[in-house]
Amino acid sequence: MKVFVVYWHPEPQSFNAAMFHAALKALTDAGHEVRSSDLEAMRFDPVSSRKDFTTVKNPDYFKPQIEEMHASENGGFSPEIETEIGNIEWCDLMVWQFPLWWFGLPATLKGWVDRVFAMGRTYGGGRIYQSGVFQGKRALLSLTTGGPEDAYQKGAFNGDIAGILRPIHRGMLQFVGFEVLAPQIVYGPVRLTDEDRRLALAAYAERLLKIDQEHPIEVGTY
Ligand SMILES: Cc1cc2nc3c(=O)[nH]c(=O)nc-3n(C[C@H](O)[C@H](O)[C@H](O)COP(=O)(O)OP(=O)(O)OC[C@H]3O[C@@H](n4cnc5c(N)ncnc54)[C@H](O)[C@@H]3O)c2cc1C
């Protein structure tokens, strides 16, 4: 299997970094081909702008989706964006590793989606959801939280984690055609003992060794 891992955390000694490196090792050990984008190491700029393109459709009014469609028709994405789209097109499984920030993706990873999920190339013209460009591919969110697991249940003060992740699962990944696997979540790693963090890393590595046998989950359409 071909696996593309996208990762962001501002600290290379973080627990997220440990999750990222554990994933690269486990996937490689399992015999998969692995590519990765470490967005912090790349100093990835999350802001959509004309630098995403080598082509120009309208020089007077910058509308990202219009420029994306034009670039899709004319091979006009910058090398940086072209590489990221190429990695998505190449992979069978895409993994995102990140800390949950404000109930969502941290800004750099969100900006990666803004810039890389380009209209015309990754969606559009009726190619969304079950007819999406990336149908047949699967995606896995691997994240950490600050809050404990019991705060992320229905009726608890943060609410159901499935509802919090729905905009990512449904509005981003399924929108462009991916099927999603059950998320890998380490709740409050800072609250765990060193031994429990080590066990969490081992459990993730163990899961990844058999990830090609997993089935996608239902994400509600409500
Ligand atoms: C702007 C912002 C918004 C946030 N919003 C939310 C939110 O909406 N909801 C929420 O729940 N939380 C939120 N948080 C908290 C955040 O999600 C957590 O701080 C984060 O997920 C913890 O992961 P980390 O990788 O940063 O942990 P770290 O603090 O980097 O790591 C935890 C511990 O693991 C240790 N460690 C590192 N590597 C290893 C290893 N190999 N083996 C064992 N131990 C290791 C570290 O040394 C550290 O002691 C927010 C934080 C910020 C800054």
In sequence order, what are the residues at sequence separation of 6 or more whose Cβ sits closer than 8 angstroms to the Cβ of residue 84?
37, 112, 115, 116
Ligand 1 centroid to Cα of residue 3, in Å, is 24
- pLDDT score of 96: 99
What is the band of 17 on the pLDDT scale with cuts at 50, 70, 90?
very high
Q: Is the CB of 21 under 6 A from ligand 1?
A: no
Q: What is the DSSP string of 143-166?
A: EE-SS-GGGGSTTSSS--HHHHHH
Q: How far is CA 48 from CA 14, 51, 159, 172, in A?
A: 27, 8, 32, 16
Nearest to 15 by CA among 197, 205, 208, 203: 197
Q: Is the CB of 48 under 6 A from ligand 1?
A: no
Instruction: Name the maximum alpha-carbon separation found in the chain.
Output: 58
* CA-188 nearest atom, ligand 1: 22
Ligand 1 centroid to Cα of residue 9, in Å, is 9
Tokens for 15? 């627990």
- pLDDT score of 62: 98
In the three-class reduction of DSSP (H, G, I as helix; E, B as strand; rest coil), residue 34 is classed as strand
All domains in the chain, ordered by first residue: 2-213 (3.40.50.360)
Question: Cα(131)–Cα(59) distance, rounded to whole angstroms?
Answer: 32
Q: Is the CB of 198 under 6 A from ligand 1?
A: yes
Contact 18, 74 (CB under 8 A): no
In terms of Cβ atoms closer than 10 Å to its own Cβ (0-12, 13-18, 19+), residue 185 is middle
Helix (H) or strand (E) holding 46: none
- pLDDT score of 73: 98
Q: Is the CB of 103 under 6 A from ligand 1?
A: yes
Nearest to 131 by CA among 180, 90, 69, 174: 174
Mean residue pLDDT of the chain comes to: 97
Q: Is the CB of 131 under 6 A from ligand 1?
A: no
Q: Is the CB of 134 under 6 A from ligand 1?
A: no
Average the pLDDT over 17-21 and give the result.
98
Q: What is the pLDDT of residues 137-148, one digit of tens each?
A: 999 999 999 999
Residue 204 CB: number of other CB atoms within 10 A? 18
Average the pLDDT over 177-193 and give the result.
98
Question: Cα(136)–Cα(132) distance, rounded to whole angstroms?
Answer: 9
Average the pLDDT over 49-57 and give the result.
98
Question: Cα(112)–Cα(97) distance, rounded to whole angstroms?
Answer: 13
Contact 197, 14 (CB under 8 A): no
Q: Is the CB of 105 under 6 A from ligand 1?
A: no
What is the band of 222 on the pLDDT scale with cuts at 50, 70, 90?
low
- pLDDT score of 195: 98
- pLDDT score of 94: 98
* CA-190 nearest atom, ligand 1: 32
